[in-house]
A and B are shown apart, each in its own frame.
Chain A
Amino acid sequence: ETGVTQSPTHLIKTRGQQVTLRCSSQSGHNTVSWYQQALGQGPQFIFQYYREEENGRGNFPPRFSGLQFPNYSSELNVNALELDDSALYLCASSLARVGDGYTFGSGTRLTVV
């Protein structure tokens, strides 16, 4: 059983650029969520995908968008990067059954300069 893998592990971008982060779900998991964790803060829910459809979204602007593919892997895209987007981005997968928790990846550290 493989866990959740994220790529890249670290990334530096310039303000105004666009970035794509990738996540491979744990085998058999059909739900993926993305979280933003700013330094010294708890993870903040960005959005969730279930079977390729977005089925939940946190308080993030539309420039944060995503995709889930038929193999349940996922992408997080952020347009028009701002300095405040600098954070650890965590991907987590689950089976979305009642009581299921999430398996988290190690995250992508994004720095916007």
Chain B
Amino acid sequence: AQSVAQPEDQVNVAEGNPLTVKCTYSVSGNPYLFWYVQYPNRGLQFLLKYITGDNLVKGSYGFEAEFNKSQTSFHLKKPSALVSDSALYFCAVRGQAGTALIFGKGTTLSVSS
């Protein structure tokens, strides 16, 4: 069975500092990994995905994520946080083609000015 763990309910960071939001996964076969962001009372917005190739994936709004197969992790990073990055972030995994996305419980990112 596929599963995703986001070990931190909340991450607090000061504006301008680097941020990391952690995600680990479990899936049989090759993982297809995604990060989504959700603003209050809104749907999910796609940030980035890892399918194959380079372990460092670059996405929207300056975010990037590093795929680590040995640690089964896919942590979201940004070199310099903005207050506007404050939102709820979800990591998701998709196994074989045609299967649905399975989400973690989410991590609230709070960036202070």
- Residues of chain B within 8 A of A55, CB atoms compared: 98
A41 and chain B: residue at smallest CB distance:
B105
Residues facing B in A31-61 (CB within 8 A) are: 31, 33, 35, 41-45, 48, 50, 55-56, 58
B87 on interface, CB distance cutoff 8 Å: no
* Cα(A12)–Cα(B45), bound, Å: 26
A103 on interface, CB distance cutoff 8 Å: yes
Q: Mark B91-102, 1 if CB is under 8 A from A, else 0.
A: 000101111111
- The segment out of B36-44, B62-70, B76-84 that lies at the interface is B36-44
* Cα(A1)–Cα(B90), bound, Å: 25
* Cα(A103)–Cα(B49), bound, Å: 13
A107 on interface, CB distance cutoff 8 Å: yes
Residues facing B in A67-113 (CB within 8 A) are: 90, 92, 96-99, 101-107, 109
Interface, chain A (partner B; CB < 8 A): 4, 31, 33, 35, 41-45, 48, 50, 55-56, 58, 90, 92, 96-99, 101-107, 109
